[in-house]
Amino acid sequence: MSQNDSRTTPFDTLLVANRGEIACRVMRTARAMGLRTVAVYSDADANARHVREADEAVRLGPAAARESYLKVEAVVEAAKRTGAGAIHPGYGFLSENGAFVQALDAAGITFVGPPASAIAAMGDKSAAKARMANAGVPLVPGYHGDDQDDALLKSEADKIGYPVLLKASAGGGGKGMRVVEAPEQFQAALDGCRRESQAAFGDTRMLIEKYLTQPRHVEVQVFCDSHGNGVYLFERDCSVQRRHQKVLEEAPAPGMTAELRREMGEAAVRAAKEIGYVGAGTVEFLLDADGSFYFMEMNTRLQVEHPVTEMITGQDLVEWQLRVAMGEALPLKQEELTITGHSFEARLYAEDPEQDFLPATGKLERFAMDLKGAGLDPRQVRLDSGVETGDVVSMHYDPMLAKLIVHGDDRDQALSTLNRALAALDVQGVVTNRAFLQRLATHPAFRNVELDTRFIEKNEATLFAPKQYSIEEYAGAALIGLNQLARECESDSPWDRHDGFRLNAPHTIRISLCDPSIAQVHDAEGVVVVEGTRASGADPWDLTIGGETLTARLQHLEGDAVAVTLNGHRRRLQARRDGNVVVMVDPRGETRLFWRRIDAIDHGHHEAESTLTAPMHGTVVALLVEAGQKVEKGMPLMVMEAMKMEHTMTAPADGHVESFHFNAGDTVGQGDVLLEFAPVE
């Protein structure tokens, strides 16, 4: 039955119809309230953290979401089997599926969320715009009609004026959404959006909106109960995004006046009441530079970024959800809600920002955060995670691993805490965006609140600029490499070594250091040679780098923490080796340097690849050219999809495709050869 049904009764068992960090987070509050928890899982998640932490767990089906987490009948049957009186959907999957809510109503199971009618009202974005206009909520100019003819959509985009934003009518989370800068780009963008929308939502309808060039993305947390009460728990700024997916969020939104906060909050509550909303919801607005704001959409569920609202209000929003689902009134009235301090949330993804944010897979060899070593107060730092050391990150689901949430007395203090906490986060075995998050959080424009939804795009040159390494960074990486080589040499015969060993003379080793991005190019340019000399294993190293000599010592601390001392200057940082790459992290950011023995440097030349390999596990969506066709460098060749996002493979040089190894619909593994390519001689 719906949670706003007058027959709603308390329940003692909660099934969480989700996975990962949100499933773990919901179960944490449920247990604190004395509820028994039930997890559901796919074959890929049989030993996942949310399964391990639940009181009971039920298998839904194979790894593919459509055969497991999206199977309504399987989830309902799991609830019946375990005696769960209520289901919390988390976000994603079935959280905004009206048919799922109706199935629960029919089964007499409480849905911890809004009624199906409210989901339907906001699920169709075109119809939602009309409802919002009726409620007096400002709208962005656009086309929201039912006629989906390609020519008509193109005509409407031309009328609105470019740039325009194409959005899946049934969409969310950045899926099926693209900015079209010019008329000639429209058809290709429309085709891509429809493919993504069909794959994610089973719906290809599109709407078009005027794309504001410098808006901020500010959303309001609303909450309604079944007794007619509604409040807003203030706002969050989610302007820092990539591919229309949020990366950093903060609350409250910087620069907000009390009047603007009230206007946006009251508009959000009007929007919720217009559709008979019950539970937690988020009304998203575009805030223009002149203070005008426009309704964008309403998410009829708990948001990924809800913890920042919890941090500044002191409220547990999942507890509010569960109590409202039990038929209780809202715990607080509007005038009783207050803001304390400032909060940030950073989303940790398994992806490689240096490779166009390609999703990554693999085994987490280590997943930990050293708060004590970083001098952080655990009351001010929260890590909502769905993984632990030893877990496997698969290709089947969203690549988000965890959310790092911090709190401070003001924005500057919270931002400082965020930087230190990111530095204390140690993830090994899978490529993540942790270093990129640090670059964002320390960027001068972000610190100065120069925010809009194109923040990453506008600051791309500095966010992705080649790093200029200091002599201290070279020395730190060299120390780790030298100590490794020294340990390897301890058990070897000195007569077999080629590292400068001489009887009764200091031990000397020469190594090279360079940025990992050029490590495999075998080019001497950009390579720094370090000569390390020491008399015995107990003595410090004398490092010679570019004509400068430093006295250096390395001390191993707890975990991966080390102390690097250079000419009496001691610095603590996290340090580890990833193959021949030394990774060093401190509150100022991350340093990655490739090292090798000087006699291993190869000055050969890099040749163009004659094959194109898959950069990730995924599915081939489309082949864009034919075998034998001549192509130019950068021309799209094929489209892959992984973790609900498309990635286009392009020609590495001028030439032609000799043959494809896979067809549309085939599953490929990371490193699989996708096609044979013949570059122009």
The C-alpha atoms of residue 44 and residue 287 are separated, in whole angstroms, by 41
Beta bridge mates, 295: 139, 285
The answer to whether residue 475 scores a pLDDT higher than 90 is yes
Q: What is the pTM of this model?
A: 0.77
| Residue 427: both structure tokens together | 């993830």
pLDDT at 633: 86
Contact 18, 92 (CB under 8 A): yes
The C-alpha atoms of residue 570 and residue 183 are separated, in whole angstroms, by 58
DSSP class of residue 373 equals T
Residues 425-439: pLDDT tens digits?
989 889 899 999 999
The answer to whether residue 274 scores a pLDDT higher than 90 is yes
Contact 628, 646 (CB under 8 A): no
The C-alpha atoms of residue 566 and residue 558 are separated, in whole angstroms, by 20
| Residue 668: both structure tokens together | 């490929």
Quote the Cα angle for 72-77-81, to 5°: 155
pLDDT at 494: 36
| Residue 88: both structure tokens together | 């919390």
The C-alpha atoms of residue 140 and residue 464 are separated, in whole angstroms, by 32
Q: Which of 18-22, 410-414, 458-462, 480-484 has the lowest mean pLDDT?
A: 480-484
pLDDT at 618: 79
Mean pLDDT estimate for the chain: 89
The answer to whether residue 205 scores a pLDDT higher than 80 is yes
Residues 140-154: pLDDT tens digits?
888 988 899 999 999
The answer to whether residue 503 scores a pLDDT higher than 50 is no
Residue 349: closest CA among 1, 26, 20 = 20
Q: Which residues neighbour 155 within 8 Å (Cβ) at sequence distance 6 or greater?
A: none
| Residue 620: both structure tokens together | 């081939």
The answer to whether residue 558 scores a pLDDT higher than 80 is yes
Q: Which of 292-306, 334-348, 509-523, 539-553 has the lowest mean pLDDT?
A: 509-523
Residues 2-14: pLDDT tens digits?
554 444 568 999 9
pLDDT at 670: 67
Task: Map residue 263 onto helix, strand or coil.
Answer: helix
The C-alpha atoms of residue 24 and residue 571 are separated, in whole angstroms, by 36
Tell me, what amino acid is at 556? H
Residues 580-638: pLDDT tens digits?
889 898 887 889 898 887 754 443 333 345 667 777 777 898 999 999 999 998 899 99
DSSP class of residue 139 equals B
Contact 288, 294 (CB under 8 A): yes
Q: Which residues neighbour 138 within 8 Å (Cβ) at sequence distance 6 or greater?
A: 267, 292, 293, 294, 295
The answer to whether residue 579 scores a pLDDT higher than 70 is yes
The C-alpha atoms of residue 479 and residue 552 are separated, in whole angstroms, by 7
Q: Mean pLDDT throughout 150-168?
A: 94
Q: Mean pLDDT throughout 480-509?
A: 59
Residues 54-103: pLDDT tens digits?
999 999 999 999 999 999 999 999 999 999 999 999 999 999 999 999 99
What is the distance of C-alpha 164 from the center of its chain?
A: 25
Residues 365-379: pLDDT tens digits?
899 998 988 889 999
The C-alpha atoms of residue 433 and residue 401 are separated, in whole angstroms, by 10
For the chain, what percent of residues have pLDDT higher than 70?
92
Residue 591: closest CA among 677, 470, 490 = 470
pLDDT at 529: 92
Top-confidence residue, 352 or 524 = 352
pLDDT at 606: 35
Instruction: Report how far apart, in Å, the C-alpha atoms of 138 and of each of 131, 169, 295 are.
Output: 11, 19, 6
pLDDT at 601: 44
Instruction: Report how far apart, in Å, the C-alpha atoms of 363 and of each of 51, 376, 394, 610, 642 are.
Output: 18, 28, 9, 30, 17
pLDDT at 311: 98
Active-site hit among 178, 242, 301, 454? 301
> What is the CB neighbour count within 10 angstroms for residue 541?
25
DSSP H helical ranges for 17-147? 20-32, 49-53, 72-82, 98-107, 116-123, 125-134
pLDDT at 643: 61
The answer to whether residue 238 scores a pLDDT higher than 90 is yes
Q: Mean pLDDT throughout 547-556?
A: 93
Element (H, E) at 179: strand 177-180
Contact 638, 675 (CB under 8 A): yes
The C-alpha atoms of residue 530 and residue 542 are separated, in whole angstroms, by 10
Contact 441, 418 (CB under 8 A): yes
Contact 208, 157 (CB under 8 A): yes
For the chain, what percent of residues have pLDDT higher than 90?
63
The answer to whether residue 199 scores a pLDDT higher than 70 is yes
Is 347 a catalytic site residue? Answer: no
Residues 96-126: pLDDT tens digits?
999 999 999 999 999 999 999 999 999 877 7
Asked whether the bond before 679 is cis by omega within 30 degrees of 0, the reply is no
Element (H, E) at 529: strand 528-534
In sequence order, what E strands does 243-315 have?
Answer: 245-251, 279-287, 293-299
Contact 657, 628 (CB under 8 A): yes
Q: What share of the chain is helix, strand, coil (3-state, %, to 5)?
A: 30, 35, 40
pLDDT at 497: 40
Q: What are the φ/ψ torsions at residue 377 (nearest 5 degrees)? A: -80, 115
Tell me, what amino acid is at 592? R
Contact 443, 437 (CB under 8 A): no
Q: Which residues neighbour 296 within 8 Å (Cβ) at sequence distance 6 or greater?
A: 140, 217, 284, 285, 286
Q: Mean pLDDT throughout 47-55?
A: 97
Instruction: Report how far apart, in Å, the C-alpha atoms of 257 and of each of 252, 254, 282 are.
Output: 11, 9, 20
